Structure 1
């Protein structure tokens, strides 16, 4: 481990367009520096006025990522956690709303001694203070302070809402001193189909705008669809006033696992060593070698496993970013390429009009041919009947199934309707005024209810007067009730697990005996035994529901056990894996891979002998 030295700050900004991949590049830079033996943390700055991402529609910014401490944050923090294998905190996500709220509270408390509170210096000072304080917060088990802080500034240079943050870092670069501050600017190099020529003018204009605001890029990372020619690199170097080695190219690749490799191959370790005076070796460590081997393996996979994701935000893949990654991690661990089929749950709903539509038949065709079915979390009644249809199909046709959060709740509703013959069973979230009181809205904090006709009840944390942070959020403990649980075995036969939650409703504990008599077992609950956390169906290849969100803790080399179980069952290898005792972890499997490994070479726990 490297000796301690002053904190180093790496600011990642973006130009030309948003959504250019700053988060992946920031994560990759952190991964490379961590592979050099450094302690790395990350901060994401979002210039919107929202306090957090909790109230966003998934179509606005993609999924809401949940942290251990319950913070509802931008999905880029999920990239940081997955790449760096660390756990961050809600204060690692800075928004304009948080900064202004902080400054206004100080003003109300009289902390500014009657001064006129302004953007400069009070807002900009608050940004710098927040960054410096949060950069020191340990993220690893050793509890030591990080040595490198990678800061991603969301949005695009020139956006009016981002101006206070740019000004804050213009000042901050002098406070931190040059040897401790580095700016990486990510820009787009488009290639119009009409000419086929890669254009540098957008990058030139973006760098000029950045310099006009007082920041000069130390590295320019050029994003493009295809590899960039050397002549383009030299042109950007000349017009953007940087050395050729300060221009890095990242073209579209088969997987994001390739991005750290591309950065390392272009000498970024050597550059950081010199620019930030880091006591590190020029050569990558074993960690980066594992990334190389993982990327090679990903590109050589031949066998395919298809999973149907039945949700209602299927038009934008970022809405289920962590779910996709968790499935991908699990598929890679067992040498399969993931074929994720997004199915809009509303298109599965049966009606005379729907059954005559092409989309209805296409959706059902996808569902029927899938190797496994996943129903993720969500809110609202739209599409729930389609999800219930998919769950019923998975249960009756013995298709491997995983229900997450709402997916678990609907699995319980479906079982009640079709196996317990409670025809009107529902969640009070969807039908609070049901005439048949199989499900009833309960807003009491008391869980000791005498009415036995509830199915899914409202969470006591819910506060209808405030939309933000009103759910059961963050890491909570789930205790296994029995040793004879598939999920317990997948978790390494642990007595309990700790996973992240984000929900308002839950299964009524007063009804569990009715389900268990018919074979739907509640094998996990919270520490008090009141909240049902895990369900498993008897006599089924894999029918599992979890109230928590295991996708948030999945890592490329440590896939989430519930998702791994789904992929194992979907490929017909679950029983063999369980018989071997689930002793080999996915991270162990990567350790003995070579770059020339055959795609047919199986991991030790696969069924192929």
Structure 2
């Protein structure tokens, strides 16, 4: 097993996740089996209880793991399915060690950070790196490990120490360290500064790890003199300094890394059994990056949500829409709208924002509503019923609100509500599920991959999915449409075309005689891939560009 550790310096948020994903993509394109691990040094057991404003969206895996959004990057770039144990946190490690201590596994010895915590980290990495992620069930050959945060963070010290020890356990030919560092360029001088990188590498080496590759992140291409200076002061050869400037799209990052000789370096440094060049997979990425940059047509989509002030809160939604737009050769113009700004003026904090939000919403031919499932802010959107011809996809709570909206405005159920927002509502159209455990938020949702069965062949989404009898998508919700009230919709235009395997839970709704008005209880964005866009989002983009009917008539196949 070969291990590639990716660390970061200077500041967080400079793209370690994209770098790690891109390295994995390059190695996979060379015919290697690749897996990935993300380490988050926070004490939380997982990301499930985070506010999206803390770390961005909570990404959900097939096995129900609620993990850091970087695992979404790994899955999309590598086209693999990871597991919850591919996301390691300080909380998980300490819980694991404390459980062993309570069982008496340490035979009365004092339990310490070194060696017990550091040993647990190494053991976890080695065990998880061996778990197959592909359908072939073969063991991976390379494990890319991203250590979150920056070198010097106190919460990450145990992990750095663990890998200082691990490099000797794995042996040099099986372990290498990539350090991602910022090269700032102050506007006052316009000069690219190397001192932050020098200090970061010095701190890393002081902790016992020496970088094999230094990847410099910068707003503009790094000058050769700057590259040579980093080489001299950071004790690496010039060819070991890789420069990744801000690019038009993340699809270009694997291409830039490959162009700077990363494959050849790994072949020599880790003795990897790769060919002389990357395969057709990387060619597809190059082609995709070139197409993305040359796109002329634009499609505008409005995203209505609760956490629109931080774009990472809807990272997977954005990617799913972007994948779909690229598949039909369009640029995506995504307009973020805070749901609270769509409230009536009397309740809105700012009347100007109210008018601007509705004006923005009316500009887009298509829109989606995908707020989080906790809290009461910004749920009332009954005004949307007046744009019945607007293209719409509702995700999770967005689907539930579509049901309430339709019931109130079309079925005269004026008191229809969700018990999430009004526990004592007279018409509980949306209710909490039996699995939901009040007072315990961690891991108590309906999580992970679940099967949805199409109850009719006359379904638009069924056709877009490839006319299959059932689909499997990832879920994350505590509330559902009340199955005892479904008979109220029996003779209406709103049809529940997809249900769970027992026929008790409403999974997909479609509005008849409408160009595209769908709702899904699951989160299809989590399984979208750059070369395989999510069908519900693809349908929205096709409808927004006026190509949906032709797509359906052609058998729902994208042209090459």
When the two structures are superposed, what TM-score results if normalisation uses the length of structure 2? 0.99
1:563-587 CA-to-partner distances (Å, cap 9, x unmatched) read 0000001111101000111134xxx
509-518 or 469-478: bigger deviation? 509-518
Q: Does the 8 A contact of 1:355 with 1:361 survive in 2?
A: no
Q: How does 1:531-550 map to 2 (within 5 A)?
A: 531-550=505-524
Say which SS state the counterpart of residue 44 (structure 2) adopts.
coil
Q: Within 1, Cα distance between the matches of 2:406 and 2:210?
A: 61
Q: Within 1, Cα distance between the matches of 2:224 and 2:276?
A: 24
Alignment of 1:256 with 2:245, yes or no, is: no
In the TM superposition, residue 461 of structure 1 has moved relative to its aligned partner by: 1.0
1:438 aligned residue (424, 427, 445): 427
Q: Does the 8 A contact of 2:340 with 2:348 survive in 1?
A: no
Q: Within 1, Cα distance between the matches of 2:386 and 2:219?
A: 40
Say which SS state the counterpart of residue 426 (structure 1) adopts.
strand
Alignment of 1:270 with 2:264, yes or no, is: yes
Q: How does 1:275-314 map to 2 (within 5 A)?
A: 275-314=269-308
In the TM superposition, residue 511 of structure 1 has moved relative to its aligned partner by: 1.9
Aligned to 2:88: 94
Q: Within 2, Cα distance between the matches of 1:353 and 1:484?
A: 41
Alignment of 1:424 with 2:418, yes or no, is: no
* 1:367–1:49 CA distance, 2 compared to 1 (3 A): same
Q: How does 1:575-590 map to 2 (within 5 A)?
A: 575-584=549-558
Aligned to 2:446: 472
Q: Within 1, Cα distance between the matches of 2:415 and 2:14?
A: 47
Across the aligned residues of Structure 1 and Structure 2, the Cα RMSD in angstroms comes to: 1.1
Q: Does the 8 A contact of 1:311 with 1:387 survive in 2?
A: no
Aligned to 2:155: 161
In the TM superposition, residue 559 of structure 1 has moved relative to its aligned partner by: 0.1
* 1:485–1:242 CA distance, 2 compared to 1 (3 A): same
* 1:486–1:280 CA distance, 2 compared to 1 (3 A): same
Q: Within 2, Cα distance between the matches of 1:363 and 1:155?
A: 35
When the two structures are superposed, what TM-score results if normalisation uses the length of structure 1? 0.91
1:137 aligned residue (124, 131, 140): 131
Say which SS state the counterpart of residue 414 (structure 1) adopts.
helix
> Which aligned runs of 4 or more in structure 1 are off by greater than 6 angstroms?
none
Q: Does the 8 A contact of 1:10 with 1:148 survive in 2?
A: yes
* 1:340–1:386 CA distance, 2 compared to 1 (3 A): farther
Q: Does the 8 A contact of 1:516 with 1:522 survive in 2?
A: no
Q: Does the 8 A contact of 2:303 with 2:368 survive in 1?
A: yes
* 1:234–1:101 CA distance, 2 compared to 1 (3 A): same
31-40 or 372-381: bigger deviation? 372-381
* 1:530–1:353 CA distance, 2 compared to 1 (3 A): closer
* 1:299–1:106 CA distance, 2 compared to 1 (3 A): same
Aligned to 2:199: 205
Q: Does the 8 A contact of 2:418 with 2:430 survive in 1?
A: yes
1:458-505 CA-to-partner distances (Å, cap 9, x unmatched) read 111111131100100000000000000000001100100000000000
Alignment of 1:414 with 2:405, yes or no, is: yes
Aligned to 1:372: 366
In the TM superposition, residue 312 of structure 1 has moved relative to its aligned partner by: 1.1
In the TM superposition, residue 386 of structure 1 has moved relative to its aligned partner by: 4.5
Alignment of 1:19 with 2:8, yes or no, is: no
In the TM superposition, residue 223 of structure 1 has moved relative to its aligned partner by: 0.2
Aligned to 1:530: 504
Alignment of 1:345 with 2:342, yes or no, is: no
1:121 aligned residue (106, 115, 120): 115
In the TM superposition, residue 355 of structure 1 has moved relative to its aligned partner by: 9.7
Q: Does the 8 A contact of 2:431 with 2:479 survive in 1?
A: yes
